[in-house]
């Protein structure tokens, strides 16, 4: 195995560049080094102007998502040795505007997320003073998979629908809506459905399935969206067939 690998990294300095370009760096190729380690080596030893996001280095914070050889990945969980002999291409996550180098603007998601009310909604007046909400292990299992989302945005970067129609609310937001809908403590399913039944909600999705494939936490946003479509269709049929009081 060679002792170094080339990293072709997208650079965009908004004060200087009209559009992004490429810069190549050679970094040590070590068995235990991830793409993020390579970028940190560049930042610390070669070029301190390179900008990228990272935090935990262990696949929990979801901040180091980038496109590695065209595939959205957490760079802290992607090993350089898998791309030997290189070069390995590192780009900002697709479908988001680039702020600088490998940093993208996530404002769009931050604006969309609260629309699906990703928190427990109750229709009674029980407060924490009255005690905790009890839940069985089976009830926990019902939504646990969808609660693993770390908002890393790999699913948005992989979704061609979001790329073509930025109005689409997107995979992670819908998966999180499903997470709360399936929570036995929650009463907000109707409220969320009112948001997601719109065109830019679940019906925007054409089931490419790429969001599920790239998800580092196996959340299966595509599955959540299709199940939401069933709910939305069921609701539409009920609204059409039943008198107002019985819906």
Partner 1 sequence: MTDLTYRRPVSTWWWLKKRTYFVFVMRELSSIFIAWLVVYLLLLIRAVGRGPTAYDDFLDRADSPWLIVLNVVAFLFVLLHTVTWFNLTPQAMDVRMRGTRVPAAAIIASQYVGLAVVCGFVSWLVLS
Residue numbers of the site for partner 1 (CB under 8 A)? 12, 14-15, 19-20, 70, 94, 97-99, 105, 138, 160, 163-164, 206-210, 212-213, 220, 222-223, 226-227, 229-230
CB of 52 to partner 1, least distance (A): 15
Gap between the Cα atoms of 36 and 73, Å rounded: 11
138: which strand partners? none
CB of 209 to partner 1, least distance (A): 7
Nearest CB to partner 1, comparing residues 173 and 222: 222
Other Cβ atoms less than 10 A from the Cβ of 139: the count is 15
Nearest CB to partner 1, comparing residues 189 and 208: 208
Of 55, 46, 49, nearest to 152 by C-alpha is 55
CB of 47 to partner 1, least distance (A): 20
Nearest CB to partner 1, comparing residues 150 and 211: 211
CB of 97 to partner 1, least distance (A): 4
Gap between the Cα atoms of 83 and 131, Å rounded: 53
Separation in Å, CA 82 to CA 19, 39, 41, 240: 29, 16, 18, 54
């Amino acid at each position: 195995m060679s002792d170094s690998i080339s990293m072709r990294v997208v650079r965009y300095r908004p004060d200087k560049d009209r559009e992004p370009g490429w810069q190549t760096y050679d970094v040590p190729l070590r068995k235990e080094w991830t793409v993020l380690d390579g970028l940190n080596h560049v930042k610390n030893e070669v070029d301190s102007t390179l900008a990228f996001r990272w935090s935990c280095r262990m696949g929990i914070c979801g901040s180091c998502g980038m496109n590695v050889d065209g595939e959205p990945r957490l760079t802290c969980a992607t090993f350089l040795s898998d791309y030997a002999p290189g070069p390995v291409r590192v780009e900002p996550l697709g479908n988001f505007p680039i702020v600088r180098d490998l940093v993208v603007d996530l404002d769009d998601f931050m604006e969309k997320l609260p629309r699906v009310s990703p928190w427990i909604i109750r229709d009674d007046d029980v407060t924490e003073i009255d005690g905790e909400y009890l839940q069985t292990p089976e009830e926990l299992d019902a939504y646990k998979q969808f609660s693993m989302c770390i908002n890393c945005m790999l699913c948005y970067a992989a979704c061609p629908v979001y790329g073509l129609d930025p109005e689409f609310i997107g995979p992670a937001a819908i998966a999180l809506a499903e997470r709360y809908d399936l929570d036995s403590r929650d009463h907000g399913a109707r409220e969320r459905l009112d948001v997601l039944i719109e065109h830019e909600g679940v019906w925007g999705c054409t089931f490419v399935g790429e969001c599920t494939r790239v998800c580092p936490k196996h959340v299966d946003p595509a599955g959540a969206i299709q199940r939401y479509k069933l709910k939305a269709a069921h609701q539409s049929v009920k609204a059409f067939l039943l008198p107002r009081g019985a819906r």
